[in-house]
Amino acid sequence: MDALLINGSTKLEGEVTISGAKNAVLPILAATLLTREKCIIRRAPNLSDVSFMGQILESLGATVKMEDGVIEVQASRITPFGDYDLIRKMRGSVCILGPLLARLHKAKVSLPGGCVIGSRPIDLHLKGLEALGVKIEIDSGYVIAHARRLVGTEVFLGGRAGPTVLGTANIMMAATLAEGVTIIESAACEPEVVDLAKFLNAMGARVTGAGSPTITVTGVPELHGAEHEVIPDRVEAATFAIAAAATGGEVVIHGARPDHIHAVLDKLREAGVKVERNGPSLKVKRSGRLKPVDITTLPYSGFPTDVQAQMMVLMLLTPGISIITERIFESRFMHVSELARLGADIAIEGPSAIVKGGRPLSGAPVMASDLRASAALVIAGLVAKGKTLVKRIYHLDRGYENIDAKLRKLGARIERVEET
């Protein structure tokens, strides 16, 4: 198993280019199941979650070729029966359900489990599919679903924590081949949903309103092959922006979509970080003293839950008290106990983390618990005095393309070592 060894106290300086978005490419790959024709996806990030989705498509009968950021999928003949163990391993694989039902009117896939950030139910996905006429049964860990036909209707997808991103993707994809019009209310407005809608429309679907809480899908008899370029990863861009600020450096981030991370940039500015936007580029620089800020994670366009852990590290460096309130996932503070090993003073009170910043951080061996927690530990390691060993970095490789190489190019002293 690999680990990252970081020699801290270095400023990040230079330029970095953002890769394609993991959370956009996963549902887009699932959408290729909607047609028997070839689809070509460009700017696909080279990540373990993406190869994993490729394997899932192959297990369903599709041919998948991945090379230099281009993925070609041809799903000429597919089966509705997914491999139990393969699908169970990755939460994002739940979005094959909508395309399988749209195209084959049946699906049998394993129920995705919970994970360290929360219980992660799929009741809203199932509610939406049932509204379209799908009969669903849960048996021996499988979701077994079938429909004689899918018929458009009105579906309300708001849940306890607001809209669901992959649930919206699933219902949108199922509705593309349904009879009549489907109106999704309380739809997720995330840029990844908009990117999926763009791809579906390129395939011949009729989707309008993506990016707003009301999405309308007018069913069509079939979809055809299409080409698509995936949007840049907003979480990766935000992670590099925070890393630049935390290390007190100056980094130019290329190929990003700054308009997708308004909430993060706004908080960075409030914290005293200098952020300049120049088209798809961003310059982030920390000049003066940092100021405490409070954040609450919310659905888009609020502050993203996927950036909460990284922001916590910046707060740790800020003298005074900052408060993070996590409103999307109930247990997304796994990084707190690991950050404490580096000297962090953070108290959890219900859904909030009270961060007492300003204490020096010093390197230590830490364990990554999930993808974004790992990114936070890496940023903390870059700032801390001495050496930090971040173990279990397979989490990091799920969602950040070449993160160690990109950081090295910015001057970080970071290397991949064998975990002992």
- The residues of the shown chain that bind ligand EPU, judged by CB under 6 A, are 23, 26, 91-92, 118, 120-125, 159-161, 164-167, 188, 305-306, 328-329, 371-372, 399
Minimum Å gap between C-beta 157 and ligand EPU is 8
Minimum Å gap between C-beta 51 and ligand EPU is 15
Minimum Å gap between C-beta 144 and ligand EPU is 17
Cα 307 from Cα 165, distance rounded (Å): 16
Nearer to ligand EPU, 381 or 399 (CB): 399
Q: How far from the centroid of its chain's Cα atoms is residue 51's Cα?
A: 15
Q: Phi and psi at residue 240, in whole multiples of 5°?
A: -65, -35
Minimum Å gap between C-beta 329 and ligand EPU is 5
Neighbours of 68 (CB within 10 A): 7
Tokens representing residue 150 in the block = 């899918």
Active site (annotated) includes residue 189: no
Question: Do 193 and 21 contact (CB within 8 A), yes or no?
Answer: no
Considering 39, 95, 115, 189, which one is annotated as catalytic?
Answer: 115
Minimum Å gap between C-beta 125 and ligand EPU is 5
Minimum Å gap between C-beta 372 and ligand EPU is 5
Nearer to ligand EPU, 122 or 344 (CB): 122
Nearer to ligand EPU, 155 or 290 (CB): 155
Cα 403 from Cα 392, distance rounded (Å): 14
Nearer to ligand EPU, 24 or 73 (CB): 24
Minimum Å gap between C-beta 323 and ligand EPU is 20
Minimum Å gap between C-beta 7 and ligand EPU is 27
Write 112-115 long-range contacts (CB < 8 A, 24+). 112/87, 112/88, 113/88, 115/91, 115/370
Nearer to ligand EPU, 137 or 276 (CB): 137
Nearer to ligand EPU, 158 or 386 (CB): 158
Cα 60 from Cα 79, distance rounded (Å): 5
Nearer to ligand EPU, 22 or 108 (CB): 22
Nearer to ligand EPU, 164 or 369 (CB): 164
Cα 347 from Cα 292, distance rounded (Å): 16
Q: Looking at the annotation, which residues are catalytic?
A: 115
